[in-house]
Structure 1
Amino acid sequence: MSKRHGLKKSVLVLLTAMVGFGVTACGTSSQPTASTPQEKQAASSAPESSSTPAAGTEEKKLSGKVVVYSAGPKGLAESIQKGFEEKTGVQVEMFQGTTGKILSRMEAEKANPVVDVVVLASLPSAQGLKKSGLTLEYKEAKNADKLIPEWSDQEGHFFGYSASALGIAYNTKLVTTPPEDWADIASPEWKDKVNIPDPAQSGSALDLVTGYLSAHGESGWELFEAYKKNGVAQAGANQAALDPVITGSKSAVVAAVDYMTYAAKEKGEPIDLIYPKSGTVISPRPAAIVKTSQNVENAKAFIDYLLSDEAQKMVAETYLLPGRTDVAAKDRPGAAEIPVLKIDWTWMDENGDDVTKKFTQVFK
């Protein structure tokens, strides 16, 4: 998900070790045998599409299982699992965890990889997998042409099926004047009142930190050093950083994942979120087929399902940003309404490990 993989230096060992396994497994892959209803209609009038079997053919042939490691959120992952199983008859073996936990599990299984599809919360992590030769190309993925191009690999190695944006979440009972920008958190009124997720555990938090640095250069470290001096606490992964704000033991969390905040707000929790006016990072959540997959056709069908109308509506219901341009976000700002930093995903991928190490040193 390489110099970065976004979260742990030890993941580089995984990348090297698994490449050899990929060569054998890649030979088991084949071209998909189904098309969408739209493609079926096009096939009737387009000779070049006549070799594609009718829609539904592949689904009837599917059987067995697919192993998915997913960065959640839990409710969405379970809904997608249920929907895919009902649609295809394929059993989904699901492991849920943060991007860091997924990469650690893959490392532990490097001698005998079992995962077919990974769903991550960090685009640079997926970029790293591709660079290391660990992802399987799937150019024929259904509805891939409807995805926001910047969130996916144009060669078909990973697909940004959804995204979250990073902001500043705050407790509405404790905060009467919300911050407007990142630098506000370094002011005295916020001293010892703010959390930040650990980039070593949160792929989205790492995206924010590396994105901010890619936009501001080396001087960007001044912000995070000021945070540390003002008592901002590094507090585990996303939920661990957010929960103290919901309960009121902290007033705010920076690099807060927006969909988690909106979901808590919908449940009646005293919490809200702002997107800093100077810009933030929208963090795509890419899904990729692992080259060592032992269930390639099922894995392709799972990717197709993630990009389907049905699954994209599930994404919207979870307050995530849908990956498809033709599916609207629900009860939250859409991607076009969020101010964004001018970031360099390649720089973020290549410098993630160094950034994580320095960030840990700053906040130790």
Structure 2
Amino acid sequence: MLLLTMAVGLGLTACGAKPAGTNTNGSGSAAPTPPKTEAAAPAKTEAPKEEKKLSGKLVVYSAGPKELAEGIQKGFEAKTGVKIEMFQGTTGKILSRMEAEKANPVVDVVVLASLPSAQGLKKSGLTMEYKSAVNADKLIPEWSDKEGHFFGYSASALGIVYNTKLVKTAPKEWDDLTKEEWKGKVNIPDPALSGSALDFITGYLNVKGEAGWSLFEQYKKNGVAQAGANQEALDPVITGAKSVVAAGVDYMAYQAKAKGEPVDIVYPASGTVISPRPAAIVKSSKNVDNAKAFIDYLLSDEAQKMVADTYLLPGRKDVKAKDRAGADQIPTMKVDWTWMDTNGEAATKKFTEMFK
């Protein structure tokens, strides 16, 4: 909870001692008045710090998961009394909505599923710097902006998700999916709709260079289908219509597995991308105090527990992941997020054209 306080000084003036009354001596003349003494001024005290009362509303555009977004909304409203107006969508849909509303922006806070997308908003001058977030010092630093323009409050990793009833020997590496045995059996999310899928594709290209396109070209030749956003790519694997999702978002696989669905996930030993999910205050926000309080709430113990319970990776180093691989257990590629931001639009265009 954001604590905006006012220090109220109590100005206390020193009080002089009361003059002594007139006394007469034996001669009848007035006795001299004793010298006036001053009482020591009491030490100044400071009023207790007070929480600034919040009111009104907050407009939040949030990438999923739905249950997490709704849990955070309810928790924040209960703590602050602020009413959240929530729009939920993929990172692509959120950015498209912001573009459509550019002439008359209404959103206060955006929660995305792609760090380069948040970098892009910062570069465009659309985010507000905020450095006073509670628990910001406990965040994984690589997932957040050092100047406070966005905060990686959670993350997911990309892996090979497969149907355990259909797949007896799981593929171990990304290029395994180019083999004949997987022909026509694999989905991949659309990077124009899925921020995490875009992070994987640009991360892979960043590490492999232009040669990285050969993997995706082979995917296309082997019948890999571009299948909407993350959930749309995963659902056919759960039902058995497909066998595998390449670059499947891991928390969805863990959620489905916990519900008894026949799915599991492999992280290739050659490395994958952990995709931070950043939250940022929009510079045009009309509810700045509420927006700052919302960022603080995302980093609170309560909200970070919700993150872990949703099978996402918590953004705080001191909060453990729940019933899943932690960030330190996932082989990752060393990626340049700035390069990924700069090249994301071109990569998306080329990839989607390739998979038409």
Task: Decide: shared fold, TM above 0.5.
Answer: yes
Q: Does residue 301 in structure 1 map to residue 304 in structure 2?
A: no
State the number of aligned residues: 317
In 2 relative to 1, CA 93–220 (structure 1 residues): closer, same or farther, beyond 3 Å? Answer: same
The yes-or-no answer on 1:161 pairing with 2:148 is no
Instruction: Note the C-alpha offset of 1:109.
Output: 1.2
In the alignment, which residue of structure 2 is the partner of 1:252?
244
Aligned residue number for residue 41 of structure 1: none
Which of 43, 57, 60 is 2:51 aligned to? 57
**What's the TM-score, normalizing by structure 1?**
0.85
Looking at structure 2, the residues matched to 72 and 195 of structure 1 have their Cα atoms a distance apart, in angstroms, of: 20
**Percent identical residues:** 77
Is the counterpart of residue 191 in structure 1 residue 191 in structure 2?
no
Deviations 1:269-304 (A, max 9, x none): 010111011000000000000000000000000000
Given residue 352 of structure 1, which amino acid in structure 2 is its aligned partner? G
Q: Distance in 1 between matches of 2:51 and 2:350?
A: 52
Aligned to 1:223: 215
Segments of 5+ residues of structure 2 without an aligned counterpart are: 7-44
What secondary structure does 1:301 align onto?
helix
2:278 counterpart of 1:270: no
Q: Secondary structure at the match of 1:284?
A: strand
Q: 1:326 to 1:191 in 2, by over 3 A?
A: same
Matched, 1:107 2:78: no
2:273 aligned with 1:281: yes
Per the TM alignment, residue 70 of structure 1 is displaced from its structure 2 partner at its CA by 0.2
Residue 210 of structure 1 aligns to a residue whose secondary structure is helix
What are the residue-to-residue correspondences of 1:78-89 with 2, within 5 Å? 78-89=70-81
Aligned match for 2:4, one of 33, 38, 54: 33
Partner of 2:347: 355
Ranked by relative contact order (alpha carbons within 8 Å, sequence separation 6 or more), the top structure is: 1
Alignment correspondent of 2:302: 310
Shift of 1:107: 1.4
Cα displacement (A) at 1:249: 0.3
How many Å separate the matches in 2 of 1:106 and 1:123?
17
Q: CA deviation at 1:53?
A: 7.2
Runs in 1 of length 4+ with deviation above 2 angstroms?
50-54
Question: Do residues 176 (structure 1) and 168 (structure 2) align?
Answer: yes
Q: Which amino acid aligns with 1:57?
A: E
2:26 alignment partner in structure 1: none
**Cα separation, 1, equivalents of 2:142 and 2:102:** 30
Note if contact 2:108-2:286 (Cα within 8 Å) is conserved in structure 1. Answer: yes
Structure 1 residue matching 2:228: 3-state secondary structure: coil
1:108, distance to aligned residue in structure 2 (A): 1.5
Paired AA for residue 288 in structure 1: A
Which residue is 2:61 aligned to? 69
Task: Please tell me whether Structure 1 or Structure 2 has the larger radius of gyration of its CA atoms.
Answer: 2
Residue aligned with 1:331, SS: coil
Partners of 1:218 and 1:117 lie apart in 2 by 36
- CA distance in 2 between counterparts of 1:218 and 1:79 reads 42
CA RMSD, 1 decimal = 1.6
The CA deviation at 1:338 is 0.2
Structure-2 residue corresponding to 1:341:
333
For residue 104 of structure 1, report the CA deviation from its aligned partner: 1.0
Q: Deviations over 1:189-235 (max 9, x none)?
A: 00000000000111100000000000111100010001000000000
Higher-helix-fraction structure: 1
Tell me, in whole angstroms, the C-alpha distance in 2 between the residues paired with 1:302 and 1:148: 19
Letter aligned with residue 333 of structure 2:
L
Partner of 2:134: 142
When residues 91 and 52 of structure 1 are mapped into structure 2, their CA distance, relative to the original with a 3 A threshold, is: farther
For 1:169 and 1:156, the matched residues in 2 are separated by 34
Partner of 2:323: 331
